[in-house]
Structure 1
Amino acid sequence: METKKLRFSEKMAYGLGDFPEVINSILAAFLTMFYTDNIGMAAGAVGTMFFISKLFDGITDILAGVLIDKTRTKWGKARPWLLWLAVPTGFAAALIFWIPQNASQTTQLIYAFLTFNLFSSVMFTITGIARSSLLALMTQDMKQRGAMAAFGMFFGLGGTILGMSATFPLIYRFGGDVKAWRIVFTIYGIVTTLGLLYAFCFSKEYVTSVEKSTTNEESKLGFAEEVKLFFTNKYLLIALVMTVLVNFVTQVNSAAQTYFYTYTMNDPMLTTSLNLVSVVPIIVSIVVFVGPCLAKFGKKKTMYIGILGQIIGFVVRGIAGTLQSVPLLIAGTIIGGIVTGLLAVPVSTLFADGIDYGEWKTNKRIEGMGAAITSFSQKISSGLALASVGWVLALTGFVANEVQNAATNNGIIALFGWVPAIVLVVIFLIIRFAYKYDEIAEQIVIDLDTRKKQ
């Protein structure tokens, strides 16, 4: 059953379970601007609030991982959390935008911190770790995992791009004021809830551990033991570092884009049109290119292709910002989109491979803790990306709703293009010199299967 071909509905369930990540990415792109331009909060204070929030978020990641690893129900240990938190997650996302408009800056910061963390540190954390754990719990077949990751990328990244494209038009359609923001994100909250309910109903945990196959019972590991198992597993550490860096590239570009289009390119509606331009290349990348490339080249070489294409795309977009050239911006967007899946899909499966590697070494599986620590580092990188935008804006003299000075524009262009390209070079070096799992993956699955049969 662990290597059986998953049904379409099961792969789709894994994909739709990524809707909390979709709304989290949309928040990363728009929430800073909502706070600064619509509520009137200081950019530097908002950036610091995000960074502190992500540190707090990291603590809840670890707690959620332990919680999931200790969960035992008839539905499994990860799936039930998708059901239990489906409605609260959608509600928490909408609540962020009910910040009091006429309150003091201190009151607004407290409300922003509490509501943002209710969604990000609690609801999104638990549902995200539960959903990530399903990649290791639904199958041990690398091709099936690749297919699941492709579905996750299709709905996750596709939903994010469509959401970002639709947000400004919907806000303007509903009046363009704070009330419009509340209506739009209430709709997004409802969609998120429906996605989580589908994910619960149509997924199933098939994978059992060697320990359970041997004793018919899986021991509940202590917190210290789980942490030790994670940090002594080199492939979970590689997954952690890769997730941090790839997420930072995505989030810093995403968080800077609304400022880039509004102030550098002088056209906020480019947020919609350029995100729509990227949809087709990204879909083609995920649906057409990922599977054949993984089958022919393996993960390592597929990630090489993705990195090189992304670097070219970001460099072209950086040049486009400097020249204020929309045609170059379109070209960079298409180039980056067509190779997106070739990096993002393989990276999203590294964690599950690390879980198998750890069981191969120790006979212990730590899906919850593995997903938690990976999520922890991912959120730290997201917080750093969001904070970087706020800090750069504050340091370069940003003034909301005004023409920006040269220093601010250069800072925005750097965050949108040059910084992601530099980080991608670092990612290439890590894969080149540290990642060798492709060489042992097949033998690991065979050995684990043999132990269970014995």
Structure 2
Amino acid sequence: MGKKNQEARYDTDGARRVMRKRDYMADFGGQLALGLMANLVGQLTYFYTDKVGMAVGGVGIAMMIAKIVDALTDVIVGNMVDHSKGGNKKYYSWMLRMAIPAAVVIIMMFTVPIQAGQTAALIYVLITNLLLTAVIYTMIATPFGAVMIVRTNSLSERSSMGLFRALGNYGAGMIVSIATIPVTNMLGGTQNAWIKYGCVIALVVLLLFLICYNNGRKAKFASDYGTEETHIEEEEEEAVPFKEALGMLLHNKYWIIVLLFNLITSITSAVASASGTYYAKWIFGNDNLVALVGTFGMLATVVGFIISKPVISKFGVTKTIQIGLIGAAIPALIRCLLPTNFIVYVATCLVASFIQIPLMCLYGVLTAMTVDYNEWKYGKKLVAMSGGAIGFGSKVGNGLGSVVLAGFLAIGGYNAALESASTSMRYSIYGFSNYLPLIVNLIMFFIFMKFDLEAKLPKMREEVDARKAEK
């Protein structure tokens, strides 16, 4: 049995397969932990306003500042990782360093000292958000994102990694969406209840990171097997100065498109992760309904993941994304027309979730494609910085999502103390829940029509291999 497992395996393109089942599961766990951190942040606006009693305008400003700083750190950390030594194992070492700080700060997110006053509470919110997102999350997510590119040369295995990571990320969203309100309400619905909930999530995140790191430090990368399928010597890439590397990325139009894709889809995802609670509470009159919607959403998610690989294989990367964007816009349009119908709301949320699942499997694949283009155009992959800069779009998108959500609530005169929503509050909730996803998905659809890299990559890779062979 052991001998069989050591036999070389290759995909249809001749690239050596290096991934094992436990590698996929550990990878899934790492992304699940990151997803739990990110989705908890998406719930914080509701926690700060309705459970702690903070002013919605102040919360919006604090979150905006945190996200602006957070976005800038992705590019910096990416360049820092590219300049670090240690071969491929260096990408996992960051996870070990940040695992315990991540757990500690997750708990701190909920221990807001509101008794000290609004100003002190806002400063605390800003500091803890900066620590969790701009420092800890970035120092784990940026090198972890680069793993998909350096772990294997097989496009098939990269796609499978993307599927498992999407499952982990979406699963985290479902867990937070379904469990947060019912569990915290069951524990009393107070700030102390949210602190207890945060302690459990922190422990889960810590364990998942440690398991992922332990598997990663023992894993075999494609480069560890030598270059028997290509006979081309792979060397650790010489780091490129930050300013020069950034200039290269800004002249890569495909990287720009993927950056925008991450930015715009992250806006809608951030708003959607928090909007369900407001919709359930103020439009349907019961915030516990968000758990029911999330439960049905899990069924759609399971089906979506089952069909993802066949769909991507049939339509390809570009067309799959275009179908997903249009598929997300249409349900939003239906909700615009019938905003108070609970059955319509549930059905359209399910359809949107189902259609967009294949898109989530392609974030890493798209980043890997831009890295391949970097190598063809500049002779430099810029692995971590490309991923970190793409993460910049996701962070800005999440930040803008929080700001947009707070902005809509402020314009609508949001008042958590009311027994029922005012007319302006209802329309502000319709705005960020229905009209916003309709508009941004249509914008992204037209932007992505200019992405034609998928068809060009095979020839580009042949040219890169030819250059290496000549050296």
Kindly state the Cα deviation for residue 409 of structure 1 after the two structures are TM-superposed. Answer: 0.7
Q: Partner residue of 2:301? A: 282
Q: Is 1:225 aligned to 2:225, yes or no?
A: no
Alignment partner of 1:76: what SS?
Answer: helix
Give the Cα separation in 2 of the matches to 1:74 and 1:443.
28
Superimposed CA distance per residue, residues 57-91 of structure 1 (whole angstroms, 9 cap, x where no aligned partner):
12222221122112212652311111211121122
Normalization by structure 2: what TM-score? Answer: 0.90
Aligned-residue RMSD, C-alpha: 2.2
Distance 1:217 1:93, change over 3 A: same
Pairing 1:400–2:416 present: yes
AA at the equivalent of 2:319? K
Any idea what the Cα deviations from partners look like across 1:32-58, whole Å, max 9, x if unmatched? Answer: 111111111110110111111111112
Deviations for 1:257-294, whole angstroms, at most 9, x for unmatched residues?
211111122110111110111111112112x2211122
Alignment partner for residue 206 of structure 1, among 191, 214, 221?
A: 221
Deviation at 1:451, TM superposition (A): 4.5
Matched residue of 1:78: which SS?
Answer: helix
Secondary structure class of the residue paired with 2:114: coil
2:393 maps to 1:377: yes
1:444 to 2:460 alignment: yes
Q: Which residue of 102, 105, 113 maps to 2:115?
A: 102
Tell me what 1:254 maps to.
273
Contact 2:74 2:138 in 1 (8 A): yes
Cα 1:143/1:105, change in 2 over 3 Å = same
Correspondence for 1:309 among 327, 336, 341: 327
Are 1:267 and 2:286 matched, yes or no?
yes
Question: CA 1:412/1:119 → structure 2, altered by over 3 Å: closer, same or farther?
Answer: same
- Structure 2 contact 30–208 (Cα < 8 Å) conserved: yes
User: Structure 2 CA distance, aligned partners of 1:237 and 1:333?
Assistant: 29
Report the Cα offset of residue 351 of structure 1: 1.1
Q: Please give the alpha-carbon distance, in whole angstroms, between the structure 1 residues aligned to 2:143 and 2:384.
A: 7
Show the counterpart of 2:256.
237
Measure how far apart 1:11 and its partner are: 2.1
Secondary structure in structure 2 of the residue aligned to 1:364: coil
1:167 is matched with which residue: 162, 180, 195? 180
Aligned equivalents of 1:255 and 1:331: distance in 2? 18
Percent identity, aligned pairs only?
25
The correspondence for 1:430, drawn from 440, 447, 454, is: 447
For residues 215 and 386 of structure 1, the distance between their equivalents in structure 2, rounded to whole angstroms, comes to: 43
Shift of 1:25: 3.6
Provide TM-score, normalisation by structure 1. Answer: 0.93
Stretch of structure 1 that moved more, 19-28 or 179-188: 19-28
Equivalent-residue separation in structure 1 for 2:21 and 2:234 (angstroms): 33
2:6 paired residue number: none
Q: What is the CA-CA distance between 1:394 and the residue it aligns to? A: 1.2
Q: CA deviation at 1:377?
A: 2.1
Distance 1:395 1:374 in 2: 31
Match of 1:294 among 312, 319, 323: 312
What does residue 433 of structure 2 align with? 416
**Deviations 1:125-148 (Å, cap 9, x if unpaired)?**
111111111121112332222111
What 5-or-longer segments of structure 2 have no aligned partner?
A: 1-9
Counterpart-to-counterpart distance in 1, 2:452 and 2:50: 47
Question: Partner residue of 1:87?
Answer: 100
| 1:449 CA drift (Å) | 4.2
What residue identity is the alignment partner of 1:344?
Answer: M
Letter in 1 for 2:221: Y
Number of the residue aligned with 2:43:
30
Contact 1:315 1:332 in 2 (8 A): no
Please list every run of 5 or more consecutive structure 1 residues that lacks an aligned counterpart in the other structure.
none
2:27 aligned with 1:14: yes
Alpha-carbon distance between aligned partners in 1 of 2:127 and 2:348, rounded to the nearest angstrom: 38
- Residue 367 (structure 1) shift: 1.4
1:46 aligns with 59
- The answer to whether the Cα contact below 8 Å between 1:285 and 1:341 also exists between their aligned partners in 2 is yes
| CA apart distance, 1:450 | 4.6
Aligned to 1:336: 352
Matching residue of 1:192: 205
Read off the aligned partner of 2:356 and give its amino acid letter.
Answer: T
Does structure 1 retain, via aligned residues, the 8 Å contact 2:33–2:172?
no
2:382 is the alignment partner of 1:366:
yes
Cα deviation, residue 217, structure 1: 4.5
Report the residue type matching 2:248 in the other structure.
Answer: L
Displacement of 1:21: 3.3
Equivalent-residue separation in structure 1 for 2:372 and 2:70 (angstroms): 27
- What is the letter of the counterpart of residue 42 of structure 1? A
Aligned-partner residue type, residue 243 of structure 1: N
1:154 aligned residue: 167
Post-superposition offset of 1:347: 3.6
Residue in 2 that maps onto 1:130:
143
Change (3 A) 1:100 1:359: same
SS in 1 for 2:196: helix
SS in 1 for 2:24: helix
**For the residues of structure 2 that align with 1:343 and 1:422, how far apart are their CA atoms?**
18
Moved over 6 A (4+): none
Q: Distance in 1 between matches of 2:314 and 2:234?
A: 39
Measure how far apart 1:235 and its partner are: 1.7
Measured after TM superposition, the shift of residue 20 of structure 1 is 4.2
Distance, in Å, in 2 between the alignment partners of 1:346 and 1:285 is 13
